[in-house]
Amino acid sequence: MGYTVESGPELETDRFCFELLNLPQGHPARDMQDSFYITDEYLLRTQTSAVQARTMLANEEKTPIRMICPGKTYRREDDATHSHQFTQAEGLVIDKNISLADLKGTLEIFAKKIIGENSKLRFRPSYFPFTEPSYEVDVSCFKCGGKGCNLCKQTGWIEVLGSGMVHPNVLRMCGYDPDKYTGFAFGLGLERIAMFKYGIPDMRYLYANDVRFLSQFDR
Amino acid sequence: MKLSKNFVKDYVDVDVDIKTLAEDMTNVGNEYDEAGKLVDATKLVVGEVLTCDMHPDSDHLHVCKVDVGKEVLNIVCGAPNVAKGQKVIVALDGAELPGGVKIKKGQIRGQESNGMICSLSEIGIESKFQSEEDKTGIHVLPSDAKLGEDAVKAMGLDDEIIDFDLTANRGDLLSILGMAYEIGAIYDKKVKDIDLSHKENGEDINKTFSLDINTDNCKLFLAKRALNVEIKESPDFIKNRLLASGIRPINNVVDISNYVMLETGQPLHFYDADRLKGKIEVRMAKENEKLTTLDGIERNLSKDDIVISDGTRPIGLAGVMGGLDTEIEATTKNVIIEAAIFDGVKVRLTSKKIVRSEASNRFEKGLDPNRTYMAAERACTLLEKYANAEISKGTVIYDKTEKEDKEIDVTLENINSLLGSNIKLEEAVDIFERLGFKTKSRGNLIKVKVPRRRLDIDIKEDLIEEVGRIYGVNNIEGKLPVVPTVPGNYDRNIRNIRNKMIALGLNETLSYILLNDKEVNNFTTDKFEPVKLLDPMSEDRNTARYTMITSLFKIYEYNADRGNKDVSIFEIGKGFYKHGEEYGEDLKLCVLMSGEFYTGINSKKEVDFYIIKGIIEELLDSLGYENRYSFVVPKEMSKDFHPGQTADIIVNGKKVGIIGLVHPEISENKVFVSEINLSNLLEIKTGKMKYKEISKFPSIKKDIALVVDKNIESLEIAKVIKKAGGSNLSNIEIFDVYEGKGIEKGKRSIAFSLTFSNSDKTLTDEEINPILEKIVDMTEKEFKAELRK
Ligand SMILES: [Zn+2]
């Protein structure tokens, strides 16, 4: 039983993007991600997490879930480290007896594959409305390996992931009984990783599409 | 939130250095941006200006003799306010100042200068925290400052700061007390009591002051009265702690309201009591009601703003900003203290319109009603002590809040199964106690009493997070439910398309979906309503694209402007539309080719219609649509395409895309584009039934090339061909348009590929040839077309 690759609409409804993810109207965390609304109801999705809710509702508690979902997301910000359009990948696992230790183990493998065989992870408690507990995950610096350098601002760590155990409210709203099921979710910004991995100073370069720049990444 | 170490030490003993404290706080979930000294400078001492004379060769420099305790230094100083007898801050030889400035002995216009007399800016104090005098020159220390002493210490600025970037749920940490509890939990230290002692005299405030709460958006309102306040400068420790916390000191009374907010997290508002009419009312504002706020701006209120009134007029915007009329001034004698809890959402919306402040931020994040009472009392304590206030008896109270601890049950199994850990009961209990939560345990069940200050804790999972935080998540061993990924059919198709395009030698791009609404109908004649943003960041990105050709053409232009003429790119992305009330999005593949294209190792060719058509054919073949697609003259075509070199892509009789040349009026260079609606294409199954239908009687293809006048549209010719071909002509494709060598000037050759089929039989050449002759005859008659040999 493996992970399935799921996708969902980029033009999302408030319900899937926020409500079902434990972000009711007026929740202060909605400020963290000022959104592009089309109408009161529709918006360009701010996070691939919207697909979490869709997948859970579609499964109706019948089966465990193991899915990943890469996709475009949109927020009202534009500067060197933020682009109003960016790409996220989201992972979700729901089953009986899923624990934080499973999340840690999964992300450790994930980091080794995506970032490098010698990468180490550091978990920092954090806050996301749709997970409880929540963690930000740092990876040992791509450049210095953890000794400290300019890239990691001398800390040896670079923040790459948000993760946590799926909030019981989210499980309940999406049709899973939180007394029977637990799960974990994680999400990461792919441009951010590309920037660190290839030493790209400005996220907007990724969207300029200079063919000479593009062909540097061939195959 | 800027945490002053000196400030928090009032409430908890911290003996670690500032970097360690910052890292330890990070590990329990409180990230920081910066940690270090408030004044990041070395070798600053107190000096006394013994003599101060004009520099012989300058009209503004002074030459001073400055006693720094151990010695007397000659220092050249350019500040206009330097004078004999002043105590000043002296940066000695070798001193390092913020911004990497190093002080060295030397000469200034021929005069020896062995140090520098400093302004506050030079030691890193932002000008917004400085007095007018300090902004224009050096800082003058009090006359009792001791010569040779560390000047930073003498000013009380020997503090260290951590600038935290807190998560949205930890409103409790927007207070020194909250920070003290958090630090206490990490290092297992008790939090000290806050001093609320003060005398209360005279008539009870309730006898002469009334309160009227007329909205659900105010759950708690307390008012106390302080009489005969003496307005003056705050004591140094208050000024320095405000400054360390990023708040500008004003006068003792105003500073105390801010100081108490920093300590307790509860914002306060002080009114000049003599300007109120003995009453406070809290209600929603009326539409278009006016209020001049203390920044002097007249505000137009709406019914979503919570307003404070004295019964006759608005006197403040609750939680956001007070009114100008009732603010504390140098002449204020009597003060009404407001400590209240207003609805966070309402405060946020109002503050977004007016100004976001330290106070509004705290209302948004939520407040502990116990702290509201504490803050009101604490303000009285400090006003009595530092403003000689006489506090009236009593408190005016309106209270609809719950104040007792929240009781939440959690079992050891709950904790260990969610964390995947092996934590013992005593360890979990100890963590709760350290956090200041009372516990009772029976067997493996722990009943936890969570104080109201922890607004973020409501359910057992929140408690489990607390255990994980303090226990240390990095102490929990990871384990593996690792399983391979299985792409679904949909994803597999997308992946195949991407790989195919890359294998064919095209570069994949990633473009913005947002564009200007004026561009949304370019390159298409499809009928749709564009998807527009309610609140775009700019005009140029106010609408979601429908066709991706616009996006890729922009990329082409960007490259052409930079001299990259050879552009062969593709992108898989979405196009958006609205039909009636329904919003929709389709997955599309867009290809753009211009300039030279590598057709093999060391072989380049100028891109033409054939090359891009060949790419699309290869792709469709690889997806299993072989023999099921055709390129057909469009019935309707966007003006942005070249009319003679553009075709619809038809698969199994359905239009799925377009291929063609960008109109020469848009691009002088030849730019070929194609877009396929993958959502439509992939719905067209490569199933068996349709395959049979087609294979039953094979169709026959015949190519003809006609030479016609340049200005005759190929579409018109195709119409005539269709008429002449009758029912046996099932498809017309244009596969080449050519002018130049071998063709008479003013004319061009258009090549058509004609498909003949009949559902009842296999057509023979004998049956097809007369049809072809008829086609040639009719096109000759209509267009003077000649068959090209
Ligand atoms: Zn590094």
Q: Distance between CA A131 and CA A57 in Å, rounded?
A: 17
**Are B29 and A76 a contacting pair at CB < 8 A?**
no
> Which of B75-89, B374-388, B720-734 is predicted with the least confidence, judged by mean pLDDT?
B720-734
Q: Which residues contact B788 (CB under 8 A, 6 or more apart)?
A: B705, B706, B707, B749
The beta-carbon neighbor of B486 closest among A4, A102, A218 is A4
Q: Distance between CA B658 and CA B684 in Å, rounded?
A: 17
Alpha helices, H only, B278-424: 344-353, 358-365, 369-387, 412-419
Torsion on CA atoms B448, B454, B459, B465, rounded to nearest 10: -90
The beta-carbon neighbor of B567 closest among A95, A206, A211 is A211
Which helix (H) or strand (E) segment holds residue B276: the answer is: none
Q: Distance between CA A116 and CA A161 in Å, rounded?
A: 15
Which helix (H) or strand (E) segment holds residue B248: the answer is: none
**Closest residue in chain A to residue B555, using alpha carbons only:** A209
Q: Distance between CA B455 and CA B341 in Å, rounded?
A: 14
Window 37-76 of A: residues touching B by CB (8 A cutoff) are 37-39, 42, 44, 66, 68, 72, 74, 76
The beta-carbon neighbor of B585 closest among A9, A85, A127 is A9
- Which residues in chain A are closer than 8 Å to B564, comparing Cβ atoms? 210-212
User: From the CA of B532, how many Å to the nearest CA of chain A?
Assistant: 6
> What separation in angstroms does the CA of A54 have from each of A20, A41, A64, A96, B35?
9, 16, 14, 20, 42
Q: Which residues contact A70 (CB under 8 A, 6 or more apart)?
A: A5, A48, A87, A88, A89, A90, A190
Residue type, B178: G
**Are A108 and B478 a contacting pair at CB < 8 A?**
yes
* Banded model confidence at residue B602, pLDDT cuts 50, 70, 90: low
- Which residues in chain A are closer than 8 Å to B513, comparing Cβ atoms? 10, 44, 72, 74, 85
Question: Could you tell me if A216 lies within 8 Å of chain B, comparing CB atoms?
Answer: no
Which of A16-20, A36-40, B173-177, B474-478 has maximum average pLDDT? B173-177
Summarised one tens digit per residue, pLDDT across range B33-44 is 999 999 999 999
The beta-carbon neighbor of A123 closest among B464, B474, B559 is B474
- Which residues in chain A are closer than 8 Å to B555, comparing Cβ atoms? 209
Q: B96 alpha carbon to ligand 1 midpoint, in Å?
A: 27
Helix (H, G, I), strand (E, B) or coil at B516: coil
Q: Which residues contact B789 (CB under 8 A, 6 or more apart)?
A: none
- Which residues in chain A are closer than 8 Å to B678, comparing Cβ atoms? none
B117-148 per-residue burial string, b: 16 or more CB within 10 A, e: under 16: bbbbebbbbeeebbeeebeebbbbbeeebeee
Q: Distance between CA B716 and CA B634 in Å, rounded?
A: 11
- Which residues in chain B are closer than 8 Å to A11, comparing Cβ atoms? 531, 544, 576, 583-585
Helix (H, G, I), strand (E, B) or coil at B697: coil
Cβ pair B391, B201 in contact under 8 A: yes
**Closest residue in chain B to residue A218, using alpha carbons only:** B507
Summarised one tens digit per residue, pLDDT across range B64-113 is 999 999 999 999 998 999 999 999 999 999 999 998 889 999 888 888 89
Q: For B50-58, what is the mean pLDDT?
A: 89
Alpha helices, H only, B41-165: 132-136, 151-154
* Banded model confidence at residue A29, pLDDT cuts 50, 70, 90: low
Tokens of B455: 């607004």
Across B445-595, where does the E strand assignment appear?
445-450, 485-486, 507-508, 514-515, 531-532, 543-544, 567-579, 582-594
Helix (H, G, I), strand (E, B) or coil at B466: helix
> Tell me, what DSSP letter sits at residue B712?
S
Q: A140 alpha carbon to ligand 1 midpoint, in Å?
A: 8
Summarised one tens digit per residue, pLDDT across range A80-125 is 778 899 999 999 999 988 999 999 999 988 888 877 788 889 999 9
**Are B168 and A211 a contacting pair at CB < 8 A?**
no
The beta-carbon neighbor of A76 closest among B511, B537, B585 is B537
**Are A209 and B511 a contacting pair at CB < 8 A?**
yes
Query: Does pTM surpass 0.90?
Result: no
Residue type, B197: S
Which of B96-105, B449-458, B691-700 has maximum average pLDDT? B449-458
Q: Distance between CA B543 and CA B688 in Å, rounded?
A: 41
| Total residue length of chain A | 219
The environment of the single-atom ion ligand 1, i.e. residues with CB closer than 5 A, is A 141, 143-144, 149, 151-152
Which helix (H) or strand (E) segment holds residue B650: the answer is: strand B641-651
**Closest residue in chain A to residue B492, using alpha carbons only:** A5
Question: Could you tell me if A11 lies within 8 Å of chain B, comparing CB atoms?
Answer: yes
In 3D, which of A99, A183, A153, A21 has the Cα closest to residue B423?
A99
Share of chain B above pLDDT 90, in %: 70
Cβ pair B67, B117 in contact under 8 A: no
Cβ pair B604, B505 in contact under 8 A: no
- Which residues in chain B are closer than 8 Å to A36, comparing Cβ atoms? 514, 533-536
Q: A192 alpha carbon to ligand 1 midpoint, in Å?
A: 15
Q: Distance between CA B245 and CA B253 in Å, rounded?
A: 17
Cβ pair B225, B213 in contact under 8 A: no
- Which residues in chain A are closer than 8 Å to B569, comparing Cβ atoms? 209, 211, 214
Cβ pair B183, B8 in contact under 8 A: yes
Compute the Cα dihedral for B576, B578, B579, B583 and give only its sign: positive
Q: Which ipTM score applies to this complex? A: 0.90
In 3D, which of B479, B551, B472, B565 has the Cα closest to residue B508?
B551
